[in-house]
Every structure is written in C-alpha cells, then in structure tokens.
Amino acid sequence: MLDLDKYLDIKLPPKRSRWNQIHQTVEFVLHACHDPSPLRDELERTFAELRMIK
C-alpha cells in the first residue's frame, strides 16, 4: 500500500491524520492537473468523501 493510500481509503482513516496537509496537497494536485482523467475524478470523489467525515 502506498503511503497516501491509507488516506484515500475511507474505511481506514489514520489514527493521527494531518488534515491540513492532506487538504493542501489535494488542492494543489487538482489545481495543477486540469486534464480530465479517471484518476482525477477518483481524487475529487474521494476528497469529497473525506471532507464529509472530517
């Protein structure tokens, strides 16, 4: 499992997450990657789920 995968799995939130860093990283990636792709869609969807449980 990649390091960031643990943050993307909605069923396994880390015990000591760094929500600010996660938020900033995702926002950076979404602003830097304008091309539509399945990975971008998945990141947006997963990020929206994380914001709902935070």
Buried b (16+ CB within 10 A) or exposed e, 4-37: eeebbeeeeeeeeeeeeebeeebeeeeeeeeeee
Q: Which residue has the higher pLDDT, 1 or 47?
A: 47
Q: How far apart are CA 30 and CA 40, in angstroms?
A: 7
pTM strictly above 0.75: no
Q: How far apart are CA 10 and CA 47, in angstroms?
A: 10
The model's pLDDT over 5-38, given as tens digits with 9 standing for 90+, comes to: 766 676 766 666 677 888 899 999 999 998 999 9
What is the model's pLDDT at position 44? Answer: 93
Report the 10 Å Cβ neighbour count for 44.
13
